[in-house]
Amino acid sequence: MQHIQLLIIGSGPAGYTAAIYACRANLHPVMLEGIQPGGQLTTTTTVENYPGFPQGIEGFDLMEEMRKQAESLGTDIRQAIATRTDLSQAPYHVWTDDDTELTADAIIIATGATAKYLGLEDEKKYNGLGVSACATCDGFFYRGKTVAVVGGGDTACEEASYLSQLAEQVYLIVRKPFLRASKVMQERVLGNPKIKVLFQTETEGLYGDGHVQGAHLVEHTAEGDKHYDLSIDGFFLAIGHKPNSDIFRPWVETDETGYIVTQGPRPLTNIPGVFAAGDVADPLYRQAVVAAGSGAKAAMEAEKYLAGTNK
Ligand code: NDP
């Protein structure tokens, strides 16, 4: 068993930024990188909305730079996955996938969220080649093109509306005969001449030579199933995200989806000394720059907590 002053779990923009701030506060943070070192951004292409990079930067490169900065300031970054926790009392216990038991005075949870996919083999085949789960990240590449968004909730409607400002034509693929999104979002989508909603429709597969060129769809009608192909250049998933909070329950309070509940603008959880930053606690924005900002806040709160001046 090893004791750590400040343990950061997760290595996306929130985790790295927390680490950078924690190092500068002399907290000697230890970071557990998790399943996907660098987080969701490592799977996207060019990031054009992270300030400081006027030409844009590859998501993977941006995370590498953050990692180097965190490491050069003194973060002890470990290739390990937190698999279990006991946060019933301080010091808090965390177990990793290599059976190491750690105790920590304070913890910053920055484990992110994972976009849900339909589970089609073709989603993996064309990932980054026309398949994306983030319109804000990748929409720019579809200027003047035809795209499809899957989902009928607020995210799908928002993404379809956003993409309609760039793409020539947007299809919204909805499995039910209605949208689940809020009234205002529904009206925005249904009144947008560039968006065509395909109700009662599901995706069976994707096709294309090296890049998505279309989707195999099935429409469930009263007369039976109608299978057809739809030409598209981009396929966007917007069927929800799953926050990576499972191992912190039942200790840490979450909402019904699993997002960690924090106290207003402060990244405090219901457990003293346990903070949550980034997408795991953010059902609304889910942007790298927002996650980085919350990581900074979490480290500043951890510093105050460890010094006993957090009141
Ligand atoms: P939701 O869970 O609200 O919606 C998910 C959508 O994806 C539903 O239409 C669902 O269909 C569909 N879906 C799920 N699985 C599949 C599947 N396997 N195949 C096809 N379709 C599928 O997620 P959101 O991300 O849209 O929203 C999450 C929360 O965040 C909500 O509370 C939302 O209101 C909120 N939000 C608010 C915003 C705002 O206020 N501006 C913006 C974005 C999100 P079905 O209906 O059939 O289950």
The CB of 151 under 6 Å from ligand 1? The reply is: yes
CA of 243 relative to ligand 1 center, distance in Å: 14
Task: Summarize the chain as % helix, strand, coil (round to 5).
Answer: 30, 30, 40
> Do the domains spanning 2-115+241-306 and 121-237 agree at the CATH topology level?
yes
The CB of 243 under 6 Å from ligand 1? The reply is: no
Contact between 128 and 43 under an 8 Å Cβ cutoff? The reply is yes
The CB of 240 under 6 Å from ligand 1? The reply is: yes
CA of 140 relative to ligand 1 center, distance in Å: 23
- CATH number for the 2-115+241-306 domain, one of 3.50.50.60, 3.30.1460.30, 3.40.140.10, 3.40.50.2300? 3.50.50.60
Given this model, what pLDDT does residue 45 score?
Answer: 67
> Which regions of the chain are under pLDDT 50?
none
Is it true that domain 121-237 has CATH number 3.40.50.620?
no
Q: Which residues are catalytic?
A: 134, 137-138
Calpha distance 307→273 (Å, rounded)? 11
- Whole-angstrom Cα Rg for the chain: 21
For 253, the token pair is 């309070």
In this prediction the pTM is 0.77
Interhelix angle 13-24/59-72, nearest 10 degrees: 20
Given this model, what pLDDT does residue 286 score?
Answer: 85
**Cα angle at 295 between 294 and 300, to 5 degrees?**
95
Provide the 8-state DSSP code for 248.
G
Helix (H, G, I), strand (E, B) or coil at 73: coil
Concatenated DSSP letters of 96-112: ETTS-EEEEEEEEE---
- H or E element that contains 305: helix 288-307
User: What is the rounded (10 degree) CA torsion for 299, 301, 303, 307?
Assistant: -170
Please report, as a single letter, which amino acid is at residue 3: H
Q: How many helices (H) and strands (E) does the chain have?
A: 7, 19
Q: Give every CB contact of residue 139 below 8 A, 6+ residues apart in sequence.
A: 147, 159, 162, 163, 166, 167, 236
Q: Is the dihedral of CA 243, 244, 246, 249 positive or negative?
A: negative
Given this model, what pLDDT does residue 171 score?
Answer: 98
pLDDT tens for residues 89-130?
Answer: 999 999 999 999 999 999 999 999 988 999 999 999 999 899
CA of 152 relative to ligand 1 center, distance in Å: 6
Given this model, what pLDDT does residue 44 score?
Answer: 66
Contact between 124 and 225 under an 8 Å Cβ cutoff? The reply is no
Given this model, what pLDDT does residue 46 score?
Answer: 73
Domain residue spans of the chain:
2-115+241-306, 121-237
Helix (H, G, I), strand (E, B) or coil at 115: strand
